[in-house]
Structure 1
Amino acid sequence: MPSAKSSSAKVPSGGGRHVPTLESIATRYHARLRTLDASGDSLSEGVVVPALREAIIEGVLAPGSRLSEVQVAKQLNVSRTPMREAFAQLEREGLVTILPRVGAYVRAMTLRDVEEIYTVRAALECLAVQLASERITPLGAAQLDDVIAAMRESVKANDPVSYVDALDRFYTIVMTIADNRTLQANHAALIGPVRRLRRIAMARGGRMRASFAQAVRIRDAIVNRTPDVQDLMREQLRGACAAALDVLRNGAS
């Protein structure tokens, strides 16, 4: 049975912020569906999958936790019908492990996972920033400036949760500017584990400020179309990978 020990970590919740529960997360997603005809499929896509994904990424559901169909369905205020499909989707995203005749568990993040994910991220995101620097527009530059401002405020407030939310938006904007659907689709397949690793990495002291300083340099390189944009992206990813590995090796949980 998967274990939450050794190579797994909970995500820091940020100073003074309310720590959500699975029930409170689900309530938000239900609210978004109130104007829709919520069939079994829409509940799976609109509530169950995104709520469980968020709970795993944010550390509300700890690595190694068993996901009982009955219990989780009750917490999400849904029937059991969409649960199996949702667990299968989250397994494809690398967030859940399903053991035949045993059940579903929150997948623990291993050192190998970190190294493999960052290797693939380097290939995808270095291409993304290169394309973004070639296709940057005034609107794209303004969007980058807005998200950099939000990141700066999070750093000032020493709020890693808000910071990584803004960092997620930064990369989404970069992917949008890059405007390559195949690249976006491949990057989207990694988004759950990537967001989880971002939150793990922020547990290491000083990582948030280092990440922000490098993000500013990447923004400048994209907007100014400088030739070192891929090198800056690789440097950012090396730092993030090292931070995540350090947290996991030290047994944070």
Structure 2
Amino acid sequence: MASAPQVSGFASRLATSKDSVRPTLISDRVYELLRQAIVEGDLAPNDRVVESEIARRLGVSQAPVREAVKQLAREGLLVHVPRRGNFVVEISSEDAEHARQVREPLERLAASMAAARLTDEHLRELDELVARMREAVEVNDVGRFRDVDIAFHTLVVQIAGNPFLTRMWEVLEPNLRALRAIADPLFEGDWRAMADEHGRLVSLLRAGDPGPAADAFADHAAGRSPVPDRRAGKKPASR
């Protein structure tokens, strides 16, 4: 990991944002500032994010900076290294592709098995998770959306009822979170459409036909579902 970044663009961003931080909820403003710095490259992969330095430059206490850093870590944009600090995540396209290659057959199998085992209670739980995704979209909380998205796919794996599949998912899931292979926080497409896509997946499970459900979940895992990403005019690479 690199040492604390000496990026003039980021230092300049902090200096010019000092006054604008105070009138709003401070942790939210710091979060927006840091996220924008990561998205626009002022903070590069492997740069260290030093809470005390950011607080000093903005003229605020460390508490709101710490909350902002925690939120960014939840979204997969920062990673905490014990005894070293917080760093901007570096994700190679090769790593993300490897994760998708493993995820796709797992999701296909889970959906196929779950479609044959669904109960009314399972469906209520899945519908509730989709509703929570839509609530997260309404308040623009990407971190909450990611958490619910992961909970959705974890529940489908659990419904499948195969303990070996569950164990494999438990190994894969933290890596999917770290690699942003579920609900990429930098996705610039329609989050509401992404929530609706999960509603469509529930409808296919509710129909009870394992084939179409398995195909849809596999396409979803591989990024082939029709949810556009404005960054490249393409479908997003992850869900």
TM-score (norm 2): 0.59
Q: Does structure 1 conserve the Cα–Cα contact (< 8 Å) formed by 2:71 and 2:143?
A: no
Instruction: Within 5 Å, give how 1:1-253 maps onto structure 2.
Output: 18=28, 19=31, 56-59=73-76, 61-62=78-79, 67=81, 69=83, 108-196=90-178, 197-198=180-181, 201-226=184-209, 227-239=211-223
* Inter-partner Cα distance in structure 1 for 2:222 and 2:182: 15
Distance (whole Å) between structure 2 residues aligned to residue 61 and residue 124 of structure 1: 27
Q: For the Cα contact (< 8 Å) 1:151–1:166, is it kept in 2?
A: yes
Aligned residues: 175
Alignment root-mean-square deviation, CA: 4.0
Residues 9-56 of structure 1: per-residue CA shift (max 9 Å, x gap)? xxxxxxx874497x97xx9xxxxxxxxxxxxxxxxxxxxxxxxx9975
Q: For the structure 1 residues 2 and 211, does the alpha-carbon distance in structure 2 shift closer, same or farther, using more than 3 Å as the test? A: farther
Q: CA 1:191–1:208 in 2, change beyond 3 Å: closer, same or farther?
A: same
Q: Percent same amino acid at aligned positions?
A: 25
Q: Which runs of 5+ in 2 are unaligned?
A: 6-24, 35-50, 52-61, 233-239
If asked which structure has higher relative contact order (CA below 8 Å, sep 6+), I would say 1
Name the aligned partner's letter for residue 204 of structure 1.
Answer: F
CA contact (8 A) 2:100 2:181 kept: no
1:180 CA displacement? 1.1
Letter in structure 1 aligned against 2:78: L
Structure 1: gaps of 5 or more residues: 6-15, 28-52, 76-104, 247-253
CA deviation after TM superposition for structure 1 residue 198, in Å? 4.4
Compared CA separation, residues 2 and 235, structure 1 to 2 (3 A): farther
Which whole-Å CA distance do the structure 2 matches of 1:199 and 1:237 have between them? 8
Sort the Cα spacing of 1:204 and 1:240 in 2 relative to 1 into closer, same or farther, 3 A.
farther
Deviations 1:223-253 (A, max 9, x none): 221331112112212328996x96xxxxxxx
- State the shift of 1:221 in Å: 0.9
Shift of 1:159: 2.5
Q: Calculate the TM-score normalised by the size of structure 1.
A: 0.56
| Shift in Å, 1:125 | 0.9
Letter in 2 for 1:216: G
Higher Rg of the two aligned structures: 2
Contact 2:76-2:177 at 8 Å conserved across structures: no
Distance 1:201 1:58 in 2: 8
